[in-house]
Amino acid sequence: MNTLPAQMSNSGGTWHLFVPLMNASVWPAHDWARSAPAPTVAERERALNDLGYESAPGHHWIWTEDSEIYDDPTSSVRLIATVLIAPRVLGGAS
């Protein structure tokens, strides 16, 4: 199974999920028009499904934090969620 990462972050007040694809000028993405609360796992999975993906079996969302301004401990924190995904299989084996 080919997997790739999906990421979700909040910068500028809204949550943004995207799938970074190599050699693509536009990445599949989904936005939530709210700053809080963070999208639930179910909302994230629905968004991935709408984009044609699903979480890879056995993989779960992992959260990390980063600074808005590199190496500045007084900087605002940016939360980033990541999960490995795979293309969604429609139907099944016959």
Rounded to two decimals, what is the model's pTM? 0.85
Residues 6+ apart with CB under 8 A from 37: none
Residue 68 has pLDDT above 90, yes or no: no
Residue 92 has pLDDT above 80, yes or no: no
Q: Are the beta carbons of 3 and 88 closer than 8 angstroms?
A: no
Length of the chain: 94
Residues 6+ apart with CB under 8 A from 31: 14, 15, 16, 17
What ranges do the domains of the chain cover? 4-87
Backbone angles phi, psi at 18, to 5 degrees: -150, 155
Report strand pairing: 53-55 vs 29-32: unpaired
9-66 pLDDT, tens digit each: 987 789 999 999 999 999 999 999 998 999 999 999 999 999 999 999 999 999 999 8
